[in-house]
Amino acid sequence: MRYVEEFRRPGPVRDVLDEIRGITTRSWRIMEICGGQTHAFLRYGLQPLLPDQITLLHGPGCPVCVTPAGKIGMALALASRPGVIFCSFGDMLRVPGRKGDLMSVRSEGGDVRMVYSPLDAVRIARENPDREVVFFAIGFETTAPATAAAVQQAERTGLTNFSLLVAHVRVPPAVEILLSSPQTGIDGFLAAGHVCTVMGTEEYVPIAQKFGVPIVVTGFEPLDLLQGLHACILQLEQGRHEVENRYARSVRPEGNRPARDAMRAVFRVVDREWRGIGVIPESGLDLNEAYREFDAERKFELRDEVVEESRICIGGEILQGLKKPDACPAFGTDCTPETPLGATMVSSEGACAAYWRYRRNHDGN
């Protein structure tokens, strides 16, 4: 436990906060990419303790939130099919689509199962040879290696009743899109430590150089986040724009090579739609030709559908750091975790869910 508790001790946290106040002379807008970082900032009540000049922006680093409604529609269609066992991470079960959510499909008799790993879905397929088992493969580069391992295991064992509905996305292209927009005005980034544990930091170097912004990799404990924020602000105050790793106990520049090799063997890079943002070039992963037999879209001849988003929900603007959750007119009234209008309210990494859960811990700005 010391590897957690030592990053939560009040004394070191206060010391770093004092250092941040001491070096901050201008207004800076810092985006934490990952929803896990957003939740941690709010859970530990860090946001109101920062200098007034620092504005935290909440980014699109919530894979559940950015999974497009069309892909949700495919999931609902598959889960409703007789003879199909549809497996998903728990976060996806209540994400609204045009015709309800996966929980409503299950309540109507669909065989929808929550799993903790794609390998669980492989096991279910092996135990149910007379049923088609589909795993909803979502997530950033953090979860993609496990999906790759599941496909490789299914191939090795000759499973023909296992397939994937793939919605994996990549973080660096989204960072570039945000920086290319004059609306966001982002001065620096806190990059997600778990993604960089897999992928390393190399992909961020050309982005930092191209756009002249510091990108600092952080963990998810209070001291991790504040040390990363301190490093980012120090770079800005000194006029530097570098990639800096403040999560060295987990992240290496080259990342996790076996995990990257598995991803490279199974996936190809594709353009992908992000819910609330649009199509981002080269931001997705899809099965390559060698593993196309495991592609549920191809196997079941699925077609994407155009889904009209809620006209009230401002989830897209929240994911781009343009607005904060409590700026939404539906927040806490028409939109709650029990009656969500968008994915950002039901995902465990969604910014709206964080503001709802920890609403006493943020400053409301």
How far apart, in whole angstroms, are the C-alpha atoms of residue 125 and residue 120? 9
Contact of 325 with 331, CB cutoff 8 Å: yes
The answer, yes or no, to whether residue 4 has pLDDT greater than 50, is: yes
Which of 289-293, 316-320, 359-363 bottoms out in mean pLDDT, i.e. has the lowest?
359-363
In this structure, is the dihedral angle defined by the CA atoms of residues 5, 63, 43 and 229, taken in order, positive or negative? positive
End-to-end CA distance of the chain: 34
Residue with tokens 């391992």: 149
Domain boundaries, the chain: 2-61+181-245, 65-170+255-299, 315-357
> Going by DSSP bridges, is the β-strand pair 132-139/162-168 parallel, antiparallel, or unpaired?
parallel
Predicted confidence (pLDDT) per residue in 110-146, tens digit: 999 999 999 999 999 999 999 999 999 999 999 999 9
Contact of 216 with 188, CB cutoff 8 Å: yes
The answer, yes or no, to whether residue 308 has pLDDT greater than 60, is: yes
Q: What is the pLDDT of residue 1?
A: 47
CA angle 260, 262, 263 (to 5 degrees): 65
**What phi and psi, each to the nearest 5 degrees, are found at residue 347?**
-75, 145
Whether 65-170+255-299 and 2-61+181-245 are alike in CATH topology: the answer is yes
Residue with tokens 């794609």: 118
The CA-atom distances, in angstroms, between 353 and each of 60, 91, 127, 343 are 14, 12, 36, 9
The percentage of the chain sitting over the pLDDT mark of 90, rounded to a whole number, equals: 83
Residue type, 214: P
Query: In degrees to the nearest 10, what's the CA dihedral of 217, 95, 274, 119?
Result: 60
The CA-atom distances, in angstroms, between 292 and each of 12, 106, 158, 298, 301 are 51, 28, 14, 8, 13
Query: In degrees to the nearest 10, what's the CA dihedral of 331, 333, 337, 343?
Result: -40
In this structure, is the dihedral angle defined by the CA atoms of residues 296, 300, 304 and 308, taken in order, positive or negative? negative
Nearest CA-CA partner of 104 in 336, 297, 340: 340
Predicted confidence (pLDDT) per residue in 49-88, tens digit: 999 999 999 999 899 999 988 999 999 999 999 999 999 9
Residue type, 159: L
Identify the helix (H) or strand (E) that includes residue 243: strand 243-245
Q: What is the pLDDT of residue 9?
A: 81
Which pLDDT band holds residue 236 (cuts at 50, 70, 90)? very high
Predicted confidence (pLDDT) per residue in 238-252, tens digit: 999 999 999 999 999
Q: Mean pLDDT over all residues of the chain? A: 93
Which pLDDT band holds residue 310 (cuts at 50, 70, 90)? confident
Q: What is the distance of C-alpha 88 from the center of its chain?
A: 15
Superfamily of domain covering 2-61+181-245: HypD, alpha/beta domain 1 (3.40.50.11750)
Q: What is the pLDDT of residue 172?
A: 96
For 172, residues 6+ apart whose C-beta sits below 8 A from its C-beta are 203, 204, 207
Give 3-state DSSP helix, strand, coil % of the chain, rounded to 5: 45, 20, 35
**Residue burial 234-246, b: 16+ Cβ < 10 Å; e: rest:** bbbeeeebebbbb
Q: What is the pLDDT of residue 361?
A: 54
Q: What is the pLDDT of residue 306?
A: 67
Residue with tokens 């490789």: 152
Q: What is the pLDDT of residue 78?
A: 96
The answer, yes or no, to whether residue 276 has pLDDT greater than 70, is: yes
Burial of 92 (0-12, 13-18, 19+ CB in 10 A): buried
Which of 305-314, 339-348, 351-360 bottoms out in mean pLDDT, i.e. has the lowest?
305-314
The answer, yes or no, to whether residue 314 has pLDDT greater than 70, is: yes
CATH no. for 65-170+255-299: 3.40.50.11740
The answer, yes or no, to whether residue 3 has pLDDT greater than 90, is: no
State whether residue 67 is helix, strand or coil.
Answer: coil
Q: What is the pLDDT of residue 364?
A: 44
Q: What is the pLDDT of residue 365?
A: 43
How far apart, in whole angstroms, are the C-alpha atoms of residue 359 and residue 21? 24
Q: What is the pLDDT of residue 360?
A: 62
Supply 119's token pair.
């390998």
How far apart, in whole angstroms, are the C-alpha atoms of residue 350 and residue 92? 12
The percentage of the chain sitting over the pLDDT mark of 70, rounded to a whole number, equals: 96
Which of 29-33, 113-117, 211-215, 343-347 bottoms out in mean pLDDT, i.e. has the lowest?
343-347
How far apart, in whole angstroms, are the C-alpha atoms of residue 213 and residue 208? 5
Which pLDDT band holds residue 307 (cuts at 50, 70, 90)? low
